[in-house]
Chain A
Amino acid sequence: MAPKRTKAARGRKSVTRKQLRVAPYFVSLIVVLGLVWLSAVASAGFTKFPTPKLGLDLQGGVTMTLKASLPNGDAPDPDRMEQARQIIENRVNGTGVAEPEVFIDNGRNIVVNVAGKDTKPDQLRQVGAPAQLRFREVLQGPQEDYTEQNPKDFQNSGKNSDDKSDSKSSDSKIGSSDSPSDSGSGSSSSSKPSSDSSSSADKNNGEDPAKENASIKKQRAAVYKKINEMGKKQDPKQKQKLVDIAKSFASQAASMAQQGQPITKDQIKQSGLMKTLKPFGKLKPDEVAVLPPSMQLYTPTIGCGQLNGRTPGAVAEVNEQVVACNRPSDAEISQAKKAKKPVPYVKYLLAKARVVGEDVSSAGVQSDPQQAGKFAVGLDFKSKSTKKWQSLANDTVGKKVAIVLDNEVISAPVTEQGAGSGGQVQISGDFSSDDANLLAEQLKYGSLPASFTVETIDEVSATLGLSQMKAGMLAGGIGVALVILYCLVYYRVMGLVVIASLGASGAILYPAIAMLGAQIGFTLTLAGIAGFIVAIGITADSFVVFFERLKDEMKEGRSTRSAVPRAWTRARRTILSADTVQIIGAIVLYFLAIGVVKGFAFTLGLSTLVDIAVVFLFTHPLVSWLSRFRLLNNESLSGLHTKRRNSPDAPAGAVTLSKES
């Protein structure tokens, strides 16, 4: 650089302005670029070119917004929202769509995004519904689960949702919390014809819940076939089909249970069925769901991991018998682990549901009248549903009634005499206040800790996505082209600097977006593209501020070389102030606004940040470097020279004195 200095200093006697050392700036820019690209490529796994994660409006898919509210209209607290998010995520996974995204937006909305074609919007719509709550008489069970399955292996997503839950099933009981006044005695027996199901329960054990459902039959046949093939593979010598073995075992076990001598664990061990029927343990939860209840219950290799992993709603059908498992609490699981015992899962065979969640009007925690310091859950039924409950309670005195939430038995208390006397009952047991709270909430909302309503649901077909994508690109292209054209006309050679700077911005932004997509799941939506396009103006404007300053300085007669540092000092301030205002706006928008706004604010803010980086690390050093050449002093090329209206060589001070004629 030394020779240039002497050359440029010509004509300026004693000025020894230290030149800006531009190399460090370019080096740091290259380092920044390198880092961003490296991390982008690394997030893409080094195998493919990093690409931004596209929003659903650009690639097609379904996005749904669910708004949470508590009965008093307030927003739930973050813990509840997270709990709800996990439950909803599990339900979405349960619908079998590929790679859903479920996240909390703005504190009280849960957004479900499912990309691609096979999005099942109708099923998605249901995920925000309160869980299906059913009251079913326990026909058979609890029966030990012999498989020791880990339920997590049977969930589609890695996350295990409902951590806390109680299964004080066997200890708890339902008693009347009414003053045992009228008691109504056996009264009811209700008009419901289904009320006799309990007495005829055993007879119905093997009842086929799908006798009228052709599609289930078909699915079942497919599963049977699969099982038989797996059985053949496992033991080619085995002549009998596995399904037949399981069927005959189930009916044998059922008849033994009927006689009051259920098959014991030892008997099963001796029979060798655990090994023979092993393929059943490999079925997916939804394959298990289509098997007849008796098979689900008695086949010793079908475990609660599979049963609890069934799609939510798999056992929601009111008029069918179903099999369901309990859900041991974390405490019980860790206890069992410590003792190196299997986790206490049990299966139940359950009768038709005679009371459902909609019959419950409210539930709340009460203190347990029989056990000091313990809690109970009080349950109110809607007045029109009271009869339903009374008939169930009166039919099941001394027996267990399972409270089933989605696929799982959350409690299976014994009905006490008098429980069916009114519209209120109390479920008591060895509840801590947390246990009781949870149960009460589950009874109130289903498993979701708040009620959710579908606010928006957008189904974007892949065609529409593609056309929006193209439109966004085209708009961006037109925007960039217009700005470049304008800058070239107006600033001439300096226009090239603008192009290079915009290029540098793009070179940082692209990998940044790709990386953010891979790292924090940032998706580029149409609104995001709009943010970029709007930001083109802001980015280019930083150059305008700088160049106009430069023009001012040069108007005063300075050479580019001396004008650049002076102009920069002043322009820098303006650029920073203006960008700060923009960034404040973007940040506030990002954190406070909902819906498409977020993507827009994010890209706008990001571009503004990158703009600052580019102006500081690239544009200014570049101009500074260029100013050492004669190029920018060329009046017709640089675009920085203003015409001097009096005489070209007049000192600047005189120029402005020209008076209008």
Chain B
Amino acid sequence: MSFRDTLGRLYSGDTKVNFIGKRRAWYLVSLVLMLVCVGGMGLRNFNLGIEFVGGTQFQATVVQGISADQVQKTVESTGVQVASSQTAGSGSDEKYIVHTDGDLSNKQQENIKKAMSEKLKGEEISVSNVSSSWGSSVSQQAIIALVVSLVLITAYLWWRYERKMAGAALIALAHDLVLTAGIYALVGFEVTPSTVVGILTILGYSLYDTVVVFDKVHENTRDVFSQQRFTYADGANLAINQTLMRSINTSLIGLLPVAGLLFVGAGLLGVGTLKDLALVLFVGMLTGAYSSLFLATPLTVDFKLREPRLKEHTRKVESKRAASGESDVDVAAAVEKSVAETEDDAETDDADEPAEETPPVRPKAMSGAGGPRPGARPATKRTTAKKKKKR
């Protein structure tokens, strides 16, 4: 398969990657990655920002010809221990950043500000002072928020789709969170309250991506029992392939602005909210994109296949295939058919949709909709009729 061809298939949603069939391999990959991350968290501590350890940070715009070391000496000359001093950012936004640990008295802070300002020829000094308990109250609150949103979103997915999808989405989410946290521990990125916020946002984003794939899976497999040409797994796999381009698009379009944030936050400013948020989002969205394709949907399939009725159905489909000697079934066409017949249910539900026909015109329009696919028409009609009877 040439590269161009692959792109073309990707573009048209015709890829035939067997996501579901190779799911054990993906699970293994994820498991290994998660183990590495958990190990990383165990071995290396998080690099916690001043919000978690408490302390004071002084910031001032860089003045040509004065190094961070000189600034540090100036600060130390007031009799205060400096924990770290550095410059961050670039161009006109370049700044000195001096950290001190522990609590400083007002007087000490005033002295440091004065000393720095004198050294830096009257530059304004920004001070940010955090008690050591602040970070933990932020995190504590964040964990509450995390749990509450997980419960609510799970409830929503459960209601909107089904329990098993909600479960799979949650596992995929946990995977994203562990990976992101692990990468932070391993690389040693600084963890600040903004990072914690970012992690909470990943949660929404990762689920958002998953939901879009689920939506297609849901649609493809809604009437899986009414036919015996494809299995649940086939339908799910097709859904992933069909939404692959969209998933890539979503992830790209989501990542592009975040990349912009990261570029500005890390490149120009060097420190602060923007960088912290952008970095964690960037890492989280990458893992999120991976997990909704390779983890969430395969897991859903595994969960679903525990249902006896589906097991039975899968067995039937497979034996039928074996009997007819078909090895390469056109799943897409089969799903297409199944979906086409459920479509009118959907359209009935959407009576308020202005684009829909008024009931009397209905049969006509249906044949019109089926028009471009002459081969499919009789089947559509037949199954539709059957289904109507069933209801």
Contact = CB atoms under 8 A, between A and B. Distances in A.
A527 B277 contact: yes
Interface in A454-504: 454-464, 467-468, 470-472, 474-483, 486-487, 490
> Which interface residue of A16, A463, A588, A642 has the most chain B CB atoms within 10 A?
A588
Given A18-B355, A653-B375, A588 B257 contact: no
Interface string B1-33: 100000010011110100000000000000000
Contacts of A601: 197
| Residue with the greatest number of chain A CB neighbours at <10 A, chosen from B59, B215, B333, B357 | B215
Contacts of B203: 585
B256 A482 contact: yes
A594 B330 CA distance: 53
Interface in A530-565: 530, 533-534, 536-538, 540-541, 544-545, 548, 551-552, 555-558, 562, 564-565
Contacts of B257: 475-476, 478-480, 482-483, 533-534, 536-537
Contacts of B330: 656-657
Contacts of A600: 197, 201, 277
Contact of A585 (B149, B261, B281): B149
A468 B269 contact: yes
Give the one of A16, A121, A526, A533 with max B CB within 10 A. Answer: A533
B133 interface: yes
B110 interface: yes
Interface stretch (A134-142, A341-349, A576-584): A576-584
Contact of B130 (A18, A456, A460, A533): A456
Interface stretch (B77-85, B221-229, B247-255, B304-312): B247-255
B67 interface: no
B190 interface: no
A573 interface: yes
B260 A476 contact: yes
A453 interface: yes
Interface string B237-279: 0000011011001101111111111011100110011100110
A463 B61 contact: yes
B296 to A, nearest CB: 13
B260 A479 contact: yes
Interface stretch (B37-45, B177-185, B313-321, B365-373): B365-373
A593 B197 contact: yes
A574 B12 contact: no
A530 B261 contact: yes
A577 B264 contact: no
B361 interface: yes
A471 B262 CA distance: 11
Nearest to B346: A569
Given A527-B197, A544-B250, A478 B260 contact: yes
Nearest to A484: B256
B368 A592 contact: no
A559 B216 CA distance: 22
B326 interface: no
A471 B126 CA distance: 17
Interface string B88-129: 000011010000000000100010000000000001111111
A487 B336 CA distance: 28
Given A527-B277, A594-B138, A537 B255 contact: yes
Given A486-B253, A581-B211, A651-B372, A454 B131 contact: yes
Contact of B261 (A464, A533, A578, A582): A533
A15 interface: yes
A660 B272 contact: no
Contacts of B260: 475-479, 481-482, 533
A185 to B, nearest CB: 43
Interface string B141-157: 11011001100110011
Interface string B354-385: 11111001001100110111111000000000
B204 interface: yes
A487 to B, nearest CB: 8
Given A479-B257, A556-B373, A569-B355, A545 B212 contact: yes
| Contact-residue size bin, chain A (C-beta under 8 Å from the other chain) | 35 or more
Given A533-B260, A551-B13, A526 B273 contact: yes
Given A14-B364, A456-B130, A569-B347, A593 B142 contact: yes
Given A544-B250, A584-B149, A537 B273 contact: no
Contacts of B298: none
A318 interface: no
B131 A588 contact: no
Interface in A225-274: none
24 contacts: A17-B365, A125-B106, A459-B125, A471-B268, A471-B274, A472-B274, A483-B257, A486-B253, A530-B274, A534-B201, A537-B254, A552-B13, A556-B336, A558-B372, A562-B369, A586-B204, A588-B148, A592-B144, A596-B194, A596-B197, A642-B11, A643-B11, A651-B375, A659-B328
Interface of A: 12, 14-18, 20-21, 57, 65, 67, 106, 121-122, 125, 453-464, 467-468, 470-472, 474-483, 486-487, 490, 525-527, 529-530, 533-534, 536-538, 540-541, 544-545, 548, 551-552, 555-558, 562, 564-566, 568-570, 573-574, 577-578, 580-582, 584-586, 588-589, 592-597, 600-601, 604, 624, 642-643, 645, 651-657, 659-660
Interface of B: 1, 8, 11-14, 16, 51, 59-61, 92-93, 95, 106, 110, 123-131, 133-134, 137-138, 141-142, 144-145, 148-149, 152-153, 156-157, 160, 193-194, 197, 200-201, 203-205, 207-208, 211-212, 215-216, 219, 242-243, 245-246, 249-250, 252-261, 263-265, 268-269, 272-274, 277-278, 281, 328, 330, 332-333, 336, 346-347, 350, 353-358, 361, 364-365, 368-369, 371-376
Given A477-B260, A533-B257, 14 more contacts: A67-B133, A454-B131, A474-B268, A475-B261, A475-B264, A527-B194, A537-B253, A562-B369, A574-B211, A585-B149, A588-B148, A642-B14, A643-B12, A654-B375
